[in-house]
Structure 1
């Protein structure tokens, strides 16, 4: 199989990235519905629907705005580019803001993100398969490299397969978060915060091996968004750090 991979149906080329994107939404949402049936949701159905709507609107706007800022232009095609360019990073953070704004309006104080964690990781992973198969046709490939995992993604140059790196990271993160969820009683909402902090931390690092446009302090718009996310959760980081120190101190004392 050659990359970029372009399957055909009745001699019509199929956009594998678009197919994987739609599939990621469908499978991720079905997985969310399955988990919701198996778990007790602390938020009632009406408020949960409002939260999902707020997340969808915020994700749509955030994904387009950050996607545009990855390589901004001010020509006549900027409006079309704003609609077509999108990134999961902007979608996640925009969705987060959309949820928080919605919760203010409906006066919902319970944390709502934990149910989305594993469906989000599954959806992102499926989407990244499409990115990988699209090769250099999608702006998700890495810089040229001599690293043993370097691959020809369609332009004759061995590059970092950053989409594959991300898939491997998500598999590892899913395993770790599942173990944490099974073994530790977490405050509601903590699992989602751990996911966001971990994923945004990974993306901050991986952006250095992608051919990005770097702005202030040689950081890309995605990396500045990662920093913004960490600042947003700064109080949670301090709180989680204190809890870990207390637990380690308790374990050490008991031994």
Structure 2
């Protein structure tokens, strides 16, 4: 199989990345519905729906803002505006969704933790999306710098590069198992699984960004890495408790 993988169906090239992106949303949501039915939800259905709406709007705005900041350019045409609106990143979506949820919860007066139920559907959705990123090769900016390491792969430009999407898939698989074990503990605190997911994933992405051929850097760091630092600050209390736990 060649990468980028662009199957032809009925004479038309299929954008496999786009197909798997939509599949990620569908499967992730269906898995969330399954978990919601399986586990008792301490949040009312109306409040849960409102929280989801807040998450969606927050994720939409956050993904576009951070996507633009990855490589800010001047906009001088309608085509560039449309391209800008289509530029997005999961990191901005996650953090924007988090802020959207927290804002909505303050507005409606909901104090219960709402993140745990979203955690595993999010991981599943991200994993499916990363398969699409890998198959799309150099057409999607999730490829790495050139490397002589044994994991190097030709992602479509004849250069052996770090397959960052595959690295992330392995990380997500390990993270799934770890968080599952934490969730099954009797002393597990509500909301802690989602917090650990955010801390672990953003920490991983901070490190992996050094392997990307970023062109827009401020003091040697990308916009994604500054977002990762911001997320660490946001969860500083949880990190402190984790580091100094007895």
Matched with 2:35 is 35
Deviations 1:9-48 (A, max 9, x none): 1011100000000000000000000011110111110000
- Give the distance between the partners of 1:158 and 1:216, measured in 2 at CA: 27
Matched with 2:55 is 55
The answer to whether the Cα contact below 8 Å between 2:7 and 2:16 also exists between their aligned partners in 1 is yes
Secondary structure class of the residue paired with 2:219: helix
> Which of 187, 197, 209 matches 1:185?
187
- Give the distance between the partners of 1:37 and 1:20, measured in 2 at CA: 25
Deviations 1:58-104 (A, max 9, x none): 00000011001000011314532331110000000000000001001
Matched with 1:171 is 173
Q: Quote the offset at 1:237 in angstroms.
A: 1.4
**Count, aligned residues:** 244
The answer to whether the Cα contact below 8 Å between 1:68 and 1:81 also exists between their aligned partners in 2 is no
Secondary structure class of the residue paired with 1:142: coil
Asked if 1:18 corresponds to 2:18, the answer is yes
> Which of 75, 99, 110 matches 2:101?
99
| RMSD, matched Cα | 1.0
Matches within 5 A, 1:155-234: 155-234=157-236
Any stretches of 5+ residues in structure 2 without a counterpart?
A: none
> Which of 141, 146, 156 matches 1:144?
146
Matched with 2:69 is 69
TM-score by length of 1: 0.93
The answer to whether the Cα contact below 8 Å between 1:67 and 1:90 also exists between their aligned partners in 2 is yes
- Give the distance between the partners of 2:161 and 2:181, measured in 1 at CA: 33
Secondary structure class of the residue paired with 1:26: helix
- Give the distance between the partners of 2:129 and 2:17, measured in 1 at CA: 7
TM-score by length of 2: 0.97
- Give the distance between the partners of 1:172 and 1:14, measured in 2 at CA: 31
The answer to whether the Cα contact below 8 Å between 1:65 and 1:82 also exists between their aligned partners in 2 is no
Deviations 1:138-177 (A, max 9, x none): 1110000011010000000000000000000000000111
- Give the distance between the partners of 1:93 and 1:101, measured in 2 at CA: 12
Matched with 2:2 is 2
Deviations 1:181-218 (A, max 9, x none): 11352211111000000000000000000011342220
Secondary structure class of the residue paired with 1:18: helix
The answer to whether the Cα contact below 8 Å between 2:71 and 2:216 also exists between their aligned partners in 1 is no
| Runs of at least 4 residues off by over 4 Å | none
- Give the distance between the partners of 1:173 and 1:239, measured in 2 at CA: 19
